[in-house]
A and B are shown apart, each in its own frame.
Chain A
Amino acid sequence: MVKFLKILPIAIKTGTVTIKYPYQEPLITESFRGAIEIDPNKCVGCGACTRICPPKALTMTIESNTIILKYFVGRCIFCGMCADTCPEKAISITKEFELATGNIFDLYADVEHEVKTCPICGKTFITRKLSDKIISKVPDIPLETMDLCPDCRRKETLKKFIGVPE
């Protein structure tokens, strides 16, 4: 009948293990992955992160004349694939997990990008930063067609070589 009391010496020897969070440091280790942080200065708006994000917590939307990279931490699964993928290393993984809030809109973070509009058809197609980046990276790029959207660029190039539209 008293066999279960044998646990008592263990309990006494172990003492208190409780972590008095939130008044004490949490039990996180050095490799913990928390919410991500997008550096707006480094981000060029290429959208690589939105294509790899498994739950689509990172999305890109066009709002009037801006492209917005939306991060919804409420859907984030903290896998860090975006940080691995980002070619500009603009995404860093923080140790932040204290994200609880009563307002769902507080869980969004937006990065607003200036957008390029095609002077011929008026379509918005790329962020200005990404376009600048491409121009600086690729030598001998035909600068005169860089302002055009891919469709118009194809037409213009064709015009230049063949001389006939269509």
Chain B
Amino acid sequence: MVQLLGGELNSKGIDLRKALSRIKRSIWVYHINTGSCNGCDIEILDVLTPYFDVERFGIKLVASPRHADLALLTGPITIKTFSKVYRALNAMPRPRFVLAIGSCAVGGNIWFESYSTLGGFPKALEMFSEMGLEIDGVVYVPGCPARPEAIIYGAATLLGLQKPKTRYRRFKA
């Protein structure tokens, strides 16, 4: 079983490809809205429509997590939805991947310190690993909302078509 957690995706890029090679054909995606404002959700729908047409990559939206290889997760994960996110991700077959879309899912956005949200997928990821749920890879897609191209870029990063550009930077003033 390939062990790959979100943070190690870059350093173990080869392993990721190995894991992904187990998906013989197209990636099927399942959309989980965890309390987002719908901005990212309509951009996800936009990606499926003529101008961006993500089916070019064989990516298809499915209605059940049991059919999905990749979860498109939007929203800051409100506490009311947390258990449902767990169950949806748990229902996905291995290898399971998550594309955390939008500022909410990546860093909690403007509500990262609200009483009723968890504040982003990284926080949930810690709990999932405590609860024994393994996620084989996470790609974070910042943007508020993430524009369709950014979502495609994220998917391309996951597929290994693109190398991520962003790097941690530290400057001296």
A: residues with CB less than 8 A from B are 17-22, 26-28, 35, 38, 40-41, 43-45, 54-57, 69, 72-78, 97-114, 127, 129
Contact = CB atoms under 8 A, between A and B. Distances in A.
Interface string B8-30: 01100000100000000000000
A100 B103 contact: no
B151 to A, nearest CB: 8
Given A18-B53, A101-B140, A111-B172, 14 more contacts: A27-B149, A40-B171, A55-B108, A57-B107, A75-B103, A77-B109, A77-B144, A98-B153, A99-B142, A102-B10, A102-B137, A103-B10, A107-B142, A110-B169
Nearest to B164: A101
A75 B50 contact: no
B115 interface: no
A11 B167 CA distance: 43
A103 B9 contact: yes
A19 B173 contact: no
Nearest to A127: B173
B85 interface: no
Query: Which 9 pairs between the two chains have the least Cβ-Cβ distance?
Result: A102-B9, A75-B107, A40-B171, A100-B154, A74-B106, A74-B107, A101-B164, A77-B144, A26-B149
B24 to A, nearest CB: 22
Contacts of B171: 38, 40, 109-112
A109 B169 CA distance: 5
A35 B122 CA distance: 21
Contacts of B110: 54-55, 77
Contacts of B157: 100-102
B2 to A, nearest CB: 14
20 contacts: A17-B51, A18-B50, A22-B153, A27-B149, A54-B110, A55-B112, A75-B106, A78-B143, A98-B165, A99-B142, A100-B157, A100-B166, A103-B6, A103-B164, A104-B6, A105-B7, A106-B168, A109-B171, A110-B171, A127-B173
A112 B173 contact: yes
B139 interface: yes
Given A43-B173, A127-B173, A129-B173, A22 B152 contact: yes
A163 B150 CA distance: 65
Contact of B172 (A40, A56, A73, A102): A40
Interface string B102-128: 010011111011000000101000000
